[in-house]
Structure 1
Amino acid sequence: MSECKPPAIETGNPAEELFHLKRNGKISRRSFSIIEMQRAGEEGGLLLATTTANTPDDLHADHWEIHPQGDELILVLEGEVRLVLEGPDENGTTIRAGNAAIVPQARWHRFKWMGPVTLLFVTPPGGTELREVGAVEQAR
């Protein structure tokens, strides 16, 4: 009788790859690419990743972002950042290291640069869109 080997522990770096938290409870590692995000979106579930922003460009602070398929969890690991929801009051909320914020589904949001920051994201992969800050005002 052959013995079944138990699964091995898998390791990876969420700053370099996406961790796909699937609906069936399984977790897979994916390359950090738009194609892999789209594939994950087709399968459902959530993506987990981290990013370190050393400049406003690293944070895409000049773009709004939206996730039509679900809420997004943002945890600040180091530093602080201002999270802004589009609307009449765009002052936003400052989130500091050790704290998290939930961005409601289908709400345009963006970051305002406050200095270097490391973030962990748990986000629905499908349908995510970016729009330049000021793009709506310029179209009017």
Structure 2
Amino acid sequence: MTVTTVDMLSSAITFGDGGRVEAAEPRMTEDDGAWQLATFRVETDADVHADHWEVHPAAEEAVCCLSGALRVYFRPESPDGDETEVRLSAGGAVIVPRGRWHRLELDEPSVVMSVALRRGSRQEKRSDV
């Protein structure tokens, strides 16, 4: 039996077909069909692509704040609507609904963990920046 250790701040863990679990390069939009658990140490809004919206059409995403504090914004569902803001502090998480555009902004340097199926994920530059 081979035992593998993984540095979660430089690698991700993917969960594939047939119960396959392995370390992989963290990715935001590429798809190999596997669920990804990734942890990121982030210092600035640029580290969390605050200037972009992101969407995951294949599944919901869990965004977890392990340390620090951040805000998750959801794009308005109608043109005249307002963004919805969810504040997370250490130990908090939010489930991003499937197909819902979202973005992150930091209140302070943080460690963020996400669990997502990246199939079909896209990013779109914000027009209001």
The TM tier, using the shorter chain, reads 0.7 to 0.9
Q: Deviations over 1:93-125 (max 9, x none)?
A: 101101111000001000123121110110112
Mapping of 1:98-117 within 5 angstroms?
98-117=91-110
Distance 1:59 1:110 in 2: 8
Structure number having the greater strand percentage: 2
2:71 is aligned, of 62, 82, 85, to 82
Asked whether the equivalents of residues 35 and 115 of structure 2 are also in contact (C-alpha less than 8 Å), the reply is yes
The residue identity in structure 2 corresponding to 1:22 is G
For the pair shown, which has the larger CA radius of gyration, 1 or 2? 1
Structure 2 residue matching 1:110: 3-state secondary structure: strand
Is 1:30 the counterpart of 2:24? The answer is yes
Is 1:10 the counterpart of 2:4? The answer is yes
Q: How much identity, in percent, do the aligned residues show?
A: 28
- Flag the 1:112–1:8 CA change in 2: closer, same or farther, 3 A: same
The residue identity in structure 2 corresponding to 1:67 is H
The structural deviation recorded for 1:31 is 2.3
Distance 1:23 1:33 in 2: 18
Moved over 3 A (4+): 32-35
Asked whether the equivalents of residues 28 and 118 of structure 2 are also in contact (C-alpha less than 8 Å), the reply is no
Q: Deviations over 1:43-88 (max 9, x none)?
A: xx31011111101111111110000110001111101111111112
Q: Which has the higher contact order (CA 8 A, sep 6+)?
A: 2
Distance 1:124 1:107 in 2: 14
Distance 1:89 1:67 in 2: 21
Is 1:128 the counterpart of 2:117? The answer is no
1:92 match: 85
Structure 1 residue matching 2:7: 3-state secondary structure: coil
Query: RMSD across aligned C-alpha pairs, in angstroms?
Result: 2.0
Structure 1 residue matching 2:107: 3-state secondary structure: coil
Structure number having the greater helix percentage: 1
The TM-score, its normalising length taken from structure 2, stands at 0.87
User: Which 5+ residue runs of structure 2 have no aligned equivalent?
Assistant: none
